[in-house]
Structure formats: structure tokens, C-alpha cells
Structure 1
Amino acid sequence: MQSIQTNPTFTRRTLLLGMIGSVAHLTGCGGGGSDVAGLSSGGTGSFTSGTISGLGSIIVNGIRYNDDNATVISRDDGTSFGQSLKVGMVVSIQGSAVTAATTSNGTATATATKISCGSEWQGPVSSVSASSFNMLGLTVDVLTSTVFEGVATQLAGLSTSHFVEVHGYVDQTTGHLQATHVEVSNTQPTQYKLSGVVNNFSAVNRTFKLGTTAQPSSQISWDSNTSVPSSWSDGVFVRVTMTPGLLATHIRLLTSPLALLDADNEQDVEIHGFISAYQSNANFTVNGIQVDASNARIAGGSLALGVRVEIKGSLNNSILVATKVETPSNSEEASRTFEFHGTLSALDATAQTFVLHGLTFQYNNSTSMQGITLANGVSIEVKATRSSGAWVATEISSDA
């Protein structure tokens, strides 16, 4: 399936269509606290977009999606994604209706049918600071919860000799990328990738930059072989694939993942991200998804371009009709707890470590053991946090 190269326009007609019909109230259903994973109101299916916060299958926005038979495609062009889904990657999921958790601390479940995934930026590291790093002229912000993998497992191990592929969310007000997953390598990739708002656009010279005028990216060029949108200019958000020489090969407009995944009406929806276009509290866009929040309950801070949001609602005519909009802070994101289900292996009682899904976890006297004795081959559920590049188990229980 190919992504549609259009820039959605929020018209009066589509807004009115999106408001037709009743909107079900959403209820919390476990998986991390109240009002997390609210997609169990009896819709025909579910659509969710956010960060993978656990494995076994994949857990996104508090819902454990079985992805055994799901089709996984690239958000860039609709072709096969071709990589394993990992914690911290940003995905959109089309799936079945959600089944609520059966216990107060359980996890809601559903079955994924189609998943889209893709990184935002890829290229060389040019500088590193205490809480961020720079690549191709732009800034990547890092939180405690940001997952690093590869030759560096934390920001402190990153250097200017490294190349990175970064998943996360672009803040259009600053041009920064809030990183959720960083894959670090010593090998230069065959292509670089950036996304952001176009500035310094020159059709004559076939050059442009991304980001803000205060902090623009390195200059990017294109030629007659480059795939470009039919209409683009300064102020337009684009995703760019380029050579290491910064010659663009593909320039794509930001499109809604709802179209890429063929999401249906009447589905329950939950999305996490940043407001990418803002007209009013009732009319805005999050990562390409149009939102009608005219009847939504808004909790937290004020809404504006670039604000981080978590939205629950239902889908109607490709519009998310919101019932609730929340604005979590970076500190809330930094304290994120991850959840893993699987079979324990490589237990080292002396070092107090074990392996699950290829990841090494540490445990200690502060880890809550929920009536379980650790042993290789045991099915476990692990709640964990990130600490200095390591996975630290906070709670371990049986997953039989």
C-alpha cells in the first residue's frame, strides 16, 4: 500500500461530518493507571498511535496488541517495514476491538491487523550535550525513558563517531525531535533521513532547510530525479530521505496514518503525539491526524502548536472525534514504566540479571517479587524502568 501524498485540509464540511452521531464515553481499563488504554467502549475495532512501551506481543498506549499475524509496513511508503518492532519505536496500529483487563493492574488486549512504523531522523552525530545531541544541524532531546540500542546504550556513550536512527516526535515550535528510541551504529547508513518544517526554500536553486529559522538544518538539495510533492514551500512539514551528500531522493508531505492503514469509521481511537497544526482547542491536528475536540474534556495545560497530547475518542469520516485530551509533561514521560511478557532465560543469581526478549534486566532487593521464584524457562511479566542505559525490573510476577 502506498501512502497518499496529500496535505489534509480541515474543512467546515468534514468537521460537520465528523461531528455527526453519538460519541461513546471511554473508560479506563488497566495497563498503567486510570484513563490509560480507554479503548474498550464497544466500537467495531481500534486504532492507536504512540510509542511501544512493552513487548510480548507489543504494548502501545496501555494495550497489549497480539501482532503475530499483523502486516507491518513502513510509514514512509507503505512497503514492508523489514525490521523487528522494538521498545521505544513509534507505531500506528489498526486492530480489533479492545478487551478490558480482568484485574485492576492487568493490561487490556487486542489483536493488531496492520501496523505502520518508521523513524524520523537518521544520520551522523555532530555533537553531544548533557540531555541532547545534534545531527545535521538539528537537536534531538533525550529523556531518561529514551531507549538506546546498539553500540551505545545511553546518551553518555554517544560520540561524534556514531551514526543514529531516531524514533520520536518532532516539536514544530522548536524543530527539536523528542527521542523515544535511538539505534546507534559505527557504520554510515546508505541513506539519511530528516523531517520538519521547510524553510529557506529556493525553487530556483533547488535547495531548502528544515527546522526553524533560529535553528535550521544543514542545507538539502534536490534534482530532477527527486520524488517531490506537487506543491510545497516554506512552512510545510515534510519527511525527507536523502543521500549522505544531502541530495534528497524522496520528499513527502506529512499524511495521516489513518489513510495508510485504512482505518474504519466507528472505531475507538487513542493517539499520543504533538500538535502539528493548531486552529483552536476544538480544531487541531496531531501528527497528521485531524482532531475535533469541540466536545472533549481537556485536562492539563493549554493546547497550542507543539504541545504534547494524549487523546481518546472515536473515528468518524477520518476525523478523531475526541472525548478527552490530556497534556502530559516531559517529567511524566521520563518516569515511564515499561512492561514485558515472556520466558525468562540466562538467569544469573549472583549478578542479579536475566534476559527477556533479548534484553538484559537487572533486579535487586527493591524489586517487588509477586509470589514468584525466578528460574530459566519460567513465564514472567516484568515492569521495568530505564536507569543509566540499563533495564531495571521494579516488579516481577507470573505470566502463566
Structure 2
Amino acid sequence: MTRLKQQLQWGLCALSCALSAAVLVACGGGGGSAGTATQTPATPAPGASTASVVDGTITGFGSVVINGVRYDDSQAKVAFANSPDAQVAGTLGDLHTGMRVQAELKDGVLQNLVVNFALVGTVGAVDTAGGTLNVFGQTIKTTTTGQLPTVFEGFTSLAQLAVGDLVKVSGTVASDGSITATRIERKAKDGTELFRISGAVQALDTTAKTFTLVGNSSVTVNYADAKLLPTGAVIENGKLVSVVSANAPATSGGKTVLTASAVEVKARKLPDSSDTTVGGPVSDFQSLSSLRIGDVLVDASTATLKDGTTAADVVNGAQALAHGTIKDGAMKADWLKVLKNDTAIKALLIGQITDYVSIANFTLRGTVVDASAATFTKGSAADLAAGAWVQVTGQLTPAGVKATEVAVQPPPADKPERLAGAITAVDATAKTFTLLGTTVKWTDTTKISPDGKSFANLAAGLGVSVEGSYSASTGVFTATSVTVVSTPGTAKTIGFSGIAFNVTAQSLQIGSYTVQITPNTQLQPAGTQLADLVNGSRLSVKATVSGTGTNVTLTAISIELQKPEKDDAGNDYVYLGGLIGDFVSAADFKVGSQKVDASGTGVKFIDGDASKLANGAKVEIKGSVKDGVLVARQVHFMPG
């Protein structure tokens, strides 16, 4: 295990990660309870009684999904290896589809999960027709179709990127030096970014201490003053490396030179393990006994070919998954399967809706869903709202999930919960109403507020907040209290955060949301100007929602620019948004699956106080991660 932890600390995975598998799953949604009573059972995770390693692509959230397998994340600790020699702690909410990870498991439960990026740099050229970018001399390939389309954050198409934009790329380095991207994020420049390029060394000059990368002879790396990692590593032609620099390449002596602060040598080697899963494109194929999957040498001569895979399917370029024993960096596979191009990805999302604008535009833990053409197998479109528990099946797209089926689910059973939304039906005789697709029953002891309201006032369209618990045996949510919060026709207000793009003086976009800016929009913090809102900025928005169906307009009430801030340890604060679940106390609750402690005396509460912390409350938390727990510095209660 010591060796495994060392490998994790070195941040192995940016170049040795698997392509995604055929299922995208999220349970726990963007907040609320981490698992519902109707949750689909997880695919059995390997390593039921031993330590194991998984190297691959994140394809789901809540219960983290890697290579199509859902893993219990109740003990998971997340880290980002932005620099090879210094990891930064993150939250489960920081994980997104397409990120590359290496994960350590114990008894099938995630213990440590390290995220890496293959490249961080500024765009030099964009080829929209060819679907490629050029960043610091490396070609970045994207795809909008296939089993795992490239996920875009901070833009929706390559045409929106401009020369000079800062991007972070997750992907696999091919033998020609290009990077096949599974995720590209556009970021705002703040002067603290660390640049990175990755690939195989060529033209090594040990006297001048320079080299270039295969497929990228336009940039020369100078490693004279760089830290070589891991300790004792030697740079050699053909070895995979990841080069980090505090400065972008600059012209020197007639060459474009990247002055490295660190060079991480990738030995194409995973730690020895009898239980390892790898995935990615097949390359260097000689026979079933000699091929590579991702960056791992695989002997599949005695492997079982699964899920209809035939020997003819195992060819260079095919996307594959393999499981077996790693020894001295090579795998002896016991099974192998090829993800065939004619097999469409089925995306499965289970959890609570966190941001709802319309049936064509809502979010489950950072994944945008368009259910405008979906069939409802349980419930109806009228049941959809922020806080609703749903199961979505559909097709993965670069922007999120195009739903084909939606099933409205009940809340978790036999635990205190809060439901909030608009009533869709009332049965006064049975003393029940329907809320978020759930039958809610009131009794003679159920309290109703504010003063002057009675159960006779309940009607379809009325906005209410209900506290109580759901019984799986009866299928009924018994209310202990009902609070009337709005009347039909009242303007709806929502709050959400994300990376801005297409910013103008009149509007901006965050994810799939277009937000109108007016002279009445408040810009925060004090002193913020419209000119400070730029592509790649992280913003928190409150907006009114007008219109119906898919014809909806969002108008910003306030926009908060979230500038990078450091905690006492010198690390950037992290942000986590979503619905509270599993609430025990201010020191013990979850947002999604992430553990949170907001009990500190210095915690700043916005639009509420500690007494407002409860299951179902929508929050955005700023804080620092310590031993896997997000310790809150600020808790902002967000609308709808």
C-alpha cells in the first residue's frame, strides 16, 4: 500500500487513463440524500476483500463511476495533482464527467482519488472544421459524437474559443503526440495558473538539458532547473513525461522554449496489484498477447472476451477495457472487452434536481439534462422541479444528457426530509396532495403556517415547503408541518453557479443557462464592474424565471464574481453547491455525497443562519477540505 500511495502522490493517470465505459450514473444528484430508496443497485465493484486500483475516466457522480462501475464514495478523499509534487484537496462536487483519475479502493470502497490533466495552456489556433485545437504546439482532438463525446465547460462549441484562451484538457496522449480530449475547461487567467504539456520525449540533449515532445517539435523544453519526479527519475527518449511551468513558452535563441519547473517522468507503470482495471484506446497491437490499452502493456492471450467482443474487434484505435493482475508495469488480463462504435452510450442519472428552468433545461449534480423529448415511465413533467428525485436514462452529449426516459422517484425512506415546490393536485377528502411526484398526507397534528393559512387553502400551483418523512411500505410522505411560501403566478427565483462564457454587456451563459443582465442587476462584491465579468470567470447568479415550457427567460437579480481566495494553508478555497442531505447537525451533513462541517465559530452565513441548515436546503459553501471533510468558511443559502 505504501507503494500505491506513492504512485497516487506522483499523480499517475493523466497519460494512462481509460476511456469511458458505456454507462453514466449519478446517485445523490447535486445535493440531498446520497442514495434513494429506489436507487438502482451498483455494478459490483472489484476488490471485495482486497485493496485494488482503478485507472480510468469518470463517467458519473454521487456514487463515483469509473470505467462504467459505480463505487461507494462514502470514504473517498479527492485530490487534484495540479503540480506533480503538491496535491490540492478537493470535494466530490469538484469531480466532473471526462476527468481522468487513478483511484485506490479498499473492500470495494473508494479511499483516495487523484485527478490529473494532460495539458494546461493557451489556445494558439482553432480548427472548427477538423474539431481540433493547437495549444503550445500540441494538437487537441475533440469529438461531438461516439461513446464519450468531449465534454466542454465554459463554452459549447470550438467556435466560441479564441486564441489566447486558457484551457485545461483531460485526455490520452496518442503515439503521434496528439491528445484525444474527453474534457476541456475554459478558465479565466488570474496569474496563478501552472502550465502543462505531456507526451513522449524526443531529441533529448542531456548537455543543454533540453528536449521536445513527439508530435510537438515547435516547443523546446528546458529542464535545467526543473525538479525531476519521482525522486531518482531519469529522462530518456521515448519516455512519457508531464512538464509543468509557471510561465508560458517564450522565444529564446530563435526557439520557443518552455522553462520547466518540474518534469514528472511517467514510467507507464501502475503499482503491482492483483485487482486492476484499465481502459482506453488499443495501440501497439501485435496480437492478443501483446498490445496496449491506454498506456498499459496488456497480455490478453488467455483473457475472456466479454460482452460480444471477438478477437477481430481488438485492433488499434478500438476503445477497450481490461481487468487483471499488474506486475512490473504490465497486465495479465483475465477479461477484456471492446466498446464497439455501434453501441450507443446509455446515460443513467439518479438523484435530486438541483437547478430547474424547464423540462429542456435542468441539472443533476452539474450534469445538464434535456428531457423535452423523454417518455415518463413514472410521474410526469409536472413533477419536475428543484429537489425532485428522478432517474434519467438517455444519451450522453457534449453538453450533458439528452433524456429518453424519466422516472420520478420517491424521497429516501424513514428519515427526516424537506420537500419544496408547487402542489400539482389536492385530495381534501383523503387529506393528501401531490408534490414533486410524491403523495403527501397531512393529519390532525400537522402544523400549517403562516398564521391565517389552513389546509383548505391548499390548491394546485401553490408553493409549499413540507417537513416529514416518507414510508416505503405505504408510499406516502407524512407531513409534520406545511409552510405556504408562494401563490400561483408568483415569479420564480433560482440561484446557481458556474463558469461564464459568451459574456456581453447584456447577457452571459453558464452551462445551458442564458442570463440577461439589466441596469438593475447587482454586481458583487462591491466595486465589481461589468468589465470584470469575462469568459472563464466563476460566477454565482440569482435570477428570476419568466415564461413557460421551453420558452423561458432568466434575468439576473445579482451576479457575484467569485475571485480566487486563499485559506490559512495558502490553498484556494473550494466551492460546493447543491441540496443538503443526511443532516445530523451543523457539524455533520452532506451536500451530494460530500461531508460538510459548518459548525465553526467564524462561519459566515448569507441569506440565513445556522438554524436554516436542514435537509433539502439549497446552499453554496465556500471552505477548505481537511481529511475528506469540507470545513465551511461561508454558507450561502440559494433560492429554488
TM-score by length of 1: 0.75
Partner of 2:99: 89
Partner of 1:357: 365
Partner of 2:72: 66
Is 1:111 paired with 2:109? yes
Q: In the alignment, residue 324 of structure 1 is paired with which amino acid?
A: W
Contact 1:254–1:287 under 8 Å retained in 2: no
- Report matched runs for 1:75-154 at 5 Å: 76-77=84-85, 79-82=87-90, 84-96=94-106, 110-129=108-127, 130=129, 131-144=131-144, 145-150=149-154, 152-154=155-157
In 2, the alpha carbon distance for the partners of 1:211 and 1:81 equals 32
In 1, the alpha carbon distance for the partners of 2:112 and 2:64 equals 13
In 2, the alpha carbon distance for the partners of 1:346 and 1:117 equals 26
Contact 1:81–1:117 under 8 Å retained in 2: no
Partner of 2:466: none
Shift of the 40–185 alpha-carbon distance from structure 1 to 2, 3 Å rule, reads closer
Aligned length: 348
- The answer for unaligned runs of 5 or more in structure 1 is 8-29, 98-109
Partner of 1:244: 248
- Report matched runs for 1:300-319 at 5 Å: 300-303=312-315, 308-314=319-325, 319=330
In 2, the alpha carbon distance for the partners of 1:198 and 1:72 equals 30
Shift of the 136–94 alpha-carbon distance from structure 1 to 2, 3 Å rule, reads same
In 2, the alpha carbon distance for the partners of 1:276 and 1:210 equals 19
Is 1:194 paired with 2:161? no
Contact 2:233–2:265 under 8 Å retained in 1: no
User: How far apart are residue 357 of structure 1 and its match?
Assistant: 1.0
User: How far apart are residue 204 of structure 1 and its match?
Assistant: 2.4
TM-score by length of 2: 0.49
Contact 1:73–1:115 under 8 Å retained in 2: yes
Is 1:339 paired with 2:343? no
Structure 1 window deviating more from structure 2 (220-229 vs 124-133): it is 220-229
Contact 1:55–1:341 under 8 Å retained in 2: no
Contact 1:239–1:254 under 8 Å retained in 2: yes
In 1, the alpha carbon distance for the partners of 2:95 and 2:292 equals 26
Shift of the 317–234 alpha-carbon distance from structure 1 to 2, 3 Å rule, reads closer
Structure ranking higher in strand proportion: 2
Is 1:156 paired with 2:151? no
In 1, the alpha carbon distance for the partners of 2:313 and 2:285 equals 15
Q: Deviations over 1:10-40 (max 9, x none)?
A: xxxxxxxxxxxxxxxxxxxx958xxx96856
Partner of 2:225: 224
User: How far apart are residue 117 of structure 1 and its match?
Assistant: 1.6
Shift of the 192–220 alpha-carbon distance from structure 1 to 2, 3 Å rule, reads same
Partner of 1:272: 279
User: How far apart are residue 302 of structure 1 and its match?
Assistant: 4.5
Partner of 1:233: 236
Q: Deviations over 1:159-191 (max 9, x none)?
A: 21311100111112x211111111112426622
In 1, the alpha carbon distance for the partners of 2:200 and 2:177 equals 7
In 2, the alpha carbon distance for the partners of 1:78 and 1:319 equals 27
Percent identity between the two aligned chains: 23
User: RMSD of the TM alignment (CA)?
Assistant: 3.4
Where does structure 1 differ by over 6 angstroms across 4 or more consecutive aligned residues? Answer: 276-279
Shift of the 118–81 alpha-carbon distance from structure 1 to 2, 3 Å rule, reads farther
3-state DSSP of counterpart to 2:219 = coil
3-state DSSP of counterpart to 2:177 = coil
Partner of 1:175: 177
Is 1:369 paired with 2:371? no
Partner of 2:186: 184
In 1, the alpha carbon distance for the partners of 2:338 and 2:47 equals 22
In 1, the alpha carbon distance for the partners of 2:237 and 2:327 equals 31
Q: Deviations over 1:259-313 (max 9, x none)?
A: 3xxx743x3x322124576675324454454433231245344445x76432133
Contact 2:45–2:70 under 8 Å retained in 1: no
User: How far apart are residue 317 of structure 1 and its match?
Assistant: 7.3
Partner of 1:385: 395
In 1, the alpha carbon distance for the partners of 2:86 and 2:301 equals 32
Is 1:165 paired with 2:168? yes
Is 1:56 paired with 2:67? no
Q: Deviations over 1:90-142 (max 9, x none)?
A: 11222255xxxxxxxxxxxx521222221111101111112111111111111
3-state DSSP of counterpart to 2:159 = helix
Q: In the alignment, residue 153 of structure 1 is paired with which amino acid?
A: T
Contact 1:167–1:181 under 8 Å retained in 2: yes
Shift of the 181–80 alpha-carbon distance from structure 1 to 2, 3 Å rule, reads same
Partner of 1:44: 50
